[in-house]
Amino acid sequence: MSLKIKYYGVRGSLPVSGGEFAGFGGNTTCCYVQHKDTKIVIDAGTGIRILGLDLMRTDLPKTGGRINMLFTHTHWDHIQGFPFFIPAFLPNVELDIFGETKTVPGLDGEAEVWSIERALKMQQHFIFFPVGTKYMSSNKKFHEIAAGQKIRLGEVDVECFALHHPNSTLAFRFTAEGKSFVFSTDVEHNEDMLDRLAHFSQGADVLAYDCQYTTAEYNAGKVGWGHSTYESGIEICKRGKVQSLHMIHHDPLHTDKTLFQMENDAQALFPQAHMIPEGFEFSL
């Protein structure tokens, strides 16, 4: 098997708890990809805390090593777990952090430039959080990435793709030994986006896609909110000849019952569509 993948957080917008959410989980976005000794983390939602605990049960605390962390974007549900990622506090860990640098309107209306380093450090400003990033003892290196860029992490080829979302998002395609996994969260569909994402995902084994809304919900007031539907994910898979659709970024109002119903409806259109629960892992 070339790629091992585990979802540590699949909830969108904000974490949730309660018995009605226990089946699919309440932690926000975090996905882990491993190929041989190459460790790759996608986003640092609240699910990254559990990933950190799992890594602490391996040889990592003794041997150290490199962890690559890729950010799709810096909305809260994708970064809020970073201060609780225990391996980032280990001095023998090399933490390579990849994200976009963006120019955005500031509070006074003037343009501000925000790198991934600045975004993570400001989240842990003392006014918000008592432990600053300077106390995270890992050897942190920050790298700017952009849409269209290709990087190589170990023996894994990573491609970056721009998604339609407020302040934009990156999708990633991971390829190793002929197997490909596409991670595409936080995207709003339109015809152009469907075509281009199908091209980016062409022939992939799995597409993990933002299926936050049903089409009825989307049309009833969610247009412009930056998220998508399982029907759009299915269309991308069909156009791009992707083998399986993994439905992620579950709405915080969607209980297990709702998600199971959405999965049943999706499978009637595309049998290889699966609503992904927190903790689900697989290999390619």
Give the CATH number, domain containing residue 123: 3.60.15.10
Q: What band does 108 get if pLDDT is binned at 50, 70 and 90?
A: confident
Q: Is residue 69 classed exposed, middle or buried when 0-12, 13-18 and 19+ CB atoms within 10 A define those classes?
A: buried
Contact 8, 245 (CB under 8 A): no
Question: What total of structural domains would you count in the chain?
Answer: 1
pLDDT tens for each residue of 175-187? 999 999 999 999 9
Among residues 31, 137, 48, which one has the least CA distance to residue 93?
137
| pLDDT tens for each residue of 9-53 | 999 999 999 999 999 999 999 999 999 999 999 999 999 999 999
pLDDT reading at 1 higher than 80: no
> Half-sphere exposure of residue 157, counting CA atoms within 13 Å on the CB side?
10
Count of H-run helices and E-run strands, the chain? 7, 16
* 218: confidence class by pLDDT, cuts 50, 70, 90: very high
Around Cβ 215, how many Cβ atoms within 10 Å? Answer: 14
Q: Which residue stretches of the chain are H helix?
A: 48-56, 60-63, 116-123, 191-200, 215-217, 230-240, 256-269
- Model pTM greater than 0.85? yes
* Count of beta carbons in the 10 Å neighbourhood of residue 270: 18
Residue 191: domain span: 4-105+113-283
90, 58 in Cβ contact below 8 A? no
Is the predicted pLDDT of residue 92 greater than 70, yes or no? Answer: yes
